[in-house]
Amino acid sequence: MPGVVAVTGATGFIGQRIVQALLGNNWQVRALTRTPQQDMVNLQWVIGDLENKIALNELVDGVDVIVHCAGQVRGNYLKQFIQTNVKGTENLIKTTLLQNKQPRFLLISSLAAREPELSWYARSKYQGEQILISLAKELKWSIFRPTAVYGPGDRELSPLLHLTKIRLLPMSGRPDSKFGLIYVDDLVQATIDWINTDVTYQKIYELDDGTRGGYDRYSLKTISSEVWGHPVFIVSVPALLIQCLSHINLAISRIFNYLPMLTPGKVRELMHHDWVCDNHSLIEDTAWHPKIQLDKGLGKSV
């Protein structure tokens, strides 16, 4: 029976789609935002952030479910990732545990948490998960670890996907590297299915689009060629060049005070040879099934 769901990260790429899906499924939504937003039918905005404990208490008071998808994805110091992905998560969990009615809790993390040594981002996502596991022993929680999420409005994969439309596919790292992908609507539907199902709690779920064995540069080339109807050419970018550019970008970002995407840690993530996962556990527990593989999702995204 629909009730009230609290959402963090509600103005982001994934979060705003989760909010719309919840409203479409007759849930009432209470969403955290740093900037004023217009309330709507069944949608209440709470002004604040993950450091504002008064706002967090207002956010989670009396709700049935919490979907925590706020996260720091860019930064030029480790502390920026820790502040949001670890301390912010801890603040939210501690506030939740103080409630008379303790809701179910879904943390949308990242497959990067599987390899915390690779980057500041990966380490912070892993530590955020560990905070939940250690503090919320009595809470009904689950953790989602999606692979790379793409779709309209995505700012991470979209530059690469756009390049395939003009016949270019720049790739670096090992030619045999494998990676998973998931279209944003499939991740959103997985969230809705988790909310609507009494799943096995205190469990980590990995999510991808169901492509057996994931993708590699050659399958990405083939699929994009078929989608666009013209040849796409792999451009091998030397790993050393990418690494040098990432160090330069990090240094410049600290001088001019912007949050970079290309950093040495991000390069280590990109060079990692295995980002394939198995989503059968979530399928078994919720009956969710991904519907959009890259041959359909690419055209929707670009």
Q: Where are the domains of the chain?
A: 4-154+181-214+276-293
CATH class of domain segment(s) 4-154+181-214+276-293:
alpha beta
Kindly indicate the confidence band of residue 209, based on its pLDDT and cuts at 50, 70 and 90.
Answer: very high
The mean pLDDT of 159-186, rounded to a whole number, is 95
Which secondary structure element, helix H or strand E, spans residue 7, and what is its range?
strand 4-8
The C-alpha atoms of residue 13 and residue 7 are separated, in whole angstroms, by: 13
> Structure tokens of 234?
């792999």
Backbone angles phi and psi of 44, in degrees to 5: -115, 130
pLDDT tens digit string along 221-250? 999 999 999 999 999 999 999 999 999 999
pLDDT tens digit string along 251-299? 999 999 999 999 999 999 999 999 999 999 999 999 999 999 999 999 9
Query: 150 in helix, strand or coil?
Result: strand
What is the structure's pLDDT at 155? 87
The mean pLDDT of 50-71, rounded to a whole number, is 97
Is the pLDDT reported for residue 198 higher than 90?
Answer: no
The C-alpha atoms of residue 184 and residue 187 are separated, in whole angstroms, by: 5
Residue in the block written with tokens 């002004």: 47
In sequence order, which residues have a C-beta less than 8 Å from that of residue 216 and are 6 or more positions away? Answer: 175, 176, 177, 178, 179
* Angle formed by the axes of helices 120-135 and 264-271, nearest 10°: 80
What is the structure's pLDDT at 138? 87
Percentages (nearest 5) of helix, strand, coil residues in the chain: 45, 20, 40
